[in-house]
Amino acid sequence: MQRFQYYIDGQFLDGEARFPSVDPATGKEWADLPEAREGDVDRAVKAAEQALYNGAWSKMTATQRGKLIYRLADLVAANAQKLAELETRDTGKIIRETSAQIAYVADYYRYYAGIADKIEGSYLPIDKADMDVWLRREPIGVVAMVVPWNSQLFLSAVKIGPALAAGCTMVVKASEDGPAPLLEFARLIHEAGFPAGVVNIITGFGTSCGAALSRHPKVAHIAFTGGPETARHIVRNSAENLASTSLELGGKSPFIVFADADLESAANAQVAGIFAATGQSCVAGSRLIVERRIKDEFLTLLKGKAEAIRIGAPLDMATEVGPLATRRQQEHIAALLDKSLQSGARLITGGHRPGGEGFYFAPTILDCDGVNSPSLVNEFFGPVLSVVSFETESEALALANDTHYGLASGVFTQNLTRAHRLMKGIRAGIVWVNTYRAVSPIAPFGGFGLSGHGREGGMAAVLDYTRTKTIWLRTSDDPIPDPFVMR
């Protein structure tokens, strides 16, 4: 059993209690983890507040902060393989994905390192001749960050990077399902030389650790990635401290394929969009909306690709789909799939749990044409694709927008004017055209509707971690008149 500690005020600590982590590939315990409770949360938040207002961090220039973030980026790059192996072991995400993703995470930190000394205020041409007025952008305060188990080093980087660039301090709560990579990442924060209290990393359960963090009176902003139900609890808790929130909540993303598309390219993108990360991705293209006259041809192509996917041990570089992160998730998918089949959906391929140990589920395709299937509405968060067809562009757009979510979408067509109409008409924070799952530090992402609000990535994220202060300076040497003397 590997033993991990959490990181508060520059120290590695064991916490008030401990709990085990389960290897999704075997279903067996492999690590011993610290469980933060309310007292630990209070200590972490107070350490962050002290660092923000009184510590060495508060006296650093923006350029100095940027250099520290650059150092962190180099450490992430140097330790990417170790972090990738930990994430694979703790969450079941395959090593070929974690290795590539964490290597790219370093670029996110480099991007925000460069932004640190480019966060500018402004001068206002005010309507008073004897006044100069400026707007300053200052750190919003102590930030609570709640990060899920899937792609956690990426989903923490798009929070930690911009918050550090803005000059904030933070408490990061890693998910109790697979927190080992973030707890190990704390060692890189320490090695990079960030002052004590700037970044605090803990883990624990929602009802104790998460609730205490989101309602703490000294938290100014909450950045959360997860599901809508947990987000509702966070928003209710934020009524206690009136913290602002940014919420990235997943989705039921449409993937539209027209008859004129390059079908081989679209099929490859669809496979990546729904089966990569075992479907455990907030932007998973889980609703295929395909033009009716090519539906059978496209499904035959997809079925062949899905059935050729190699399912196996996540630490094997040859594996293409690994296990789900938890037994709970495996059971949720099986139950929702059963309801969908009972509603009339037709199984094209998959739909079963492969034999042996671990939390595996076979890549699955459901034909839901003409069926009111639960699979079209509910997020599986697993390797299950639901398919419907359309006749006209307007019907495709209506189907795409027939959801309470709105995080991502994909459009495959060679018709440029049609693509532009759909870019405008789809209600989602991301529209990928003739590609899918492309990301960059420069490009923000976020959702509409139940997919949340706020943006992560790009300059927009940095501004979310600042607030403006208005400075008024009177330039006249004349005394201010007595307001109670009539003239």
Region 338-352: mean pLDDT is 96
Region 150-173: mean pLDDT is 97
Same domain, 101 and 129: yes
| pLDDT score recorded for residue 16 | 75
263 neighbors 257 (Cβ within 8 angstroms): yes
Cut 0.85: pTM above it: yes
CATH number (domain holding residue 83): 3.40.605.10
Same domain, 129 and 205: yes
Spot the catalytic one: 97, 248, 291, 456. Answer: 248
80-91 and 152-166 helices, crossing angle to 10°:
130
| pLDDT score recorded for residue 250 | 85
Same domain, 27 and 150: yes
Query: Per the structure block, which two tokens stand in for 164?
Result: 């550090």
Report which of 173, 54, 71 is spatially closest to residue 112, judged by C-alpha positions: 71
Same domain, 127 and 158: yes
C-alpha span between 454 and 307 (Å, rounded): 38
Q: Is residue 393 part of a domain?
A: yes
C-alpha span between 64 and 50 (Å, rounded): 19
CATH number (domain holding residue 345): 3.40.309.10
Position 336 pLDDT exceeds 90: yes
Same domain, 87 and 152: yes
| DSSP letter (8 states) at residue 207 | I
Same domain, 265 and 397: yes
Q: Is residue 442 part of a domain?
A: no
User: Which residue, 433, 464, 482, sits at the end of a domain?
Assistant: 433
* Count of H-run helices and E-run strands, the chain: 15, 21
Average pLDDT of the residues of the chain: 96
Banded pLDDT at 1 (limits 50, 70, 90): confident
Number of CB atoms found within 10 A of residue 147's CB: 27
Position 487 pLDDT exceeds 80: no
pLDDT per residue over 413-455, tens digit each?
A: 999 999 999 999 999 999 999 999 999 999 999 999 999 999 9
Q: Is residue 218 part of a domain?
A: yes
Same domain, 237 and 270: no
C-alpha span between 305 and 312 (Å, rounded): 16
- Number of domains composing the chain: 2
Same domain, 455 and 418: no
| pLDDT score recorded for residue 55 | 92
- Annotated active-site residue 248? The verdict is yes
Q: Is residue 480 part of a domain?
A: no
In this structure, which long-range contacts are made by residues 431-434, counting pairs with CB atoms below 8 Å and at least 24 apart in sequence?
432/408, 434/261, 434/262, 434/265
Q: Is residue 140 part of a domain?
A: yes
Position 355 pLDDT exceeds 80: no
What is the domain range of residue 103?
A: 2-249+447-472
Tell me what percent of the residues of the chain surpass a pLDDT of 70. Answer: 100
Same domain, 167 and 297: no
Alpha carbon of 4 to those of 7, 34, 149, 205, 270: distances in Å? 10, 7, 16, 16, 38
Same domain, 21 and 85: yes
Same domain, 224 and 280: no
Region 24-37: mean pLDDT is 95
Region 374-379: mean pLDDT is 93
Q: Is residue 385 part of a domain?
A: yes
pLDDT per residue over 111-142, tens digit each?
A: 999 999 999 999 999 999 999 999 999 999 99
Q: Is residue 487 part of a domain?
A: no
Same domain, 51 and 162: yes
Q: Is residue 277 part of a domain?
A: yes
Region 91-104: mean pLDDT is 95
| pLDDT score recorded for residue 121 | 94
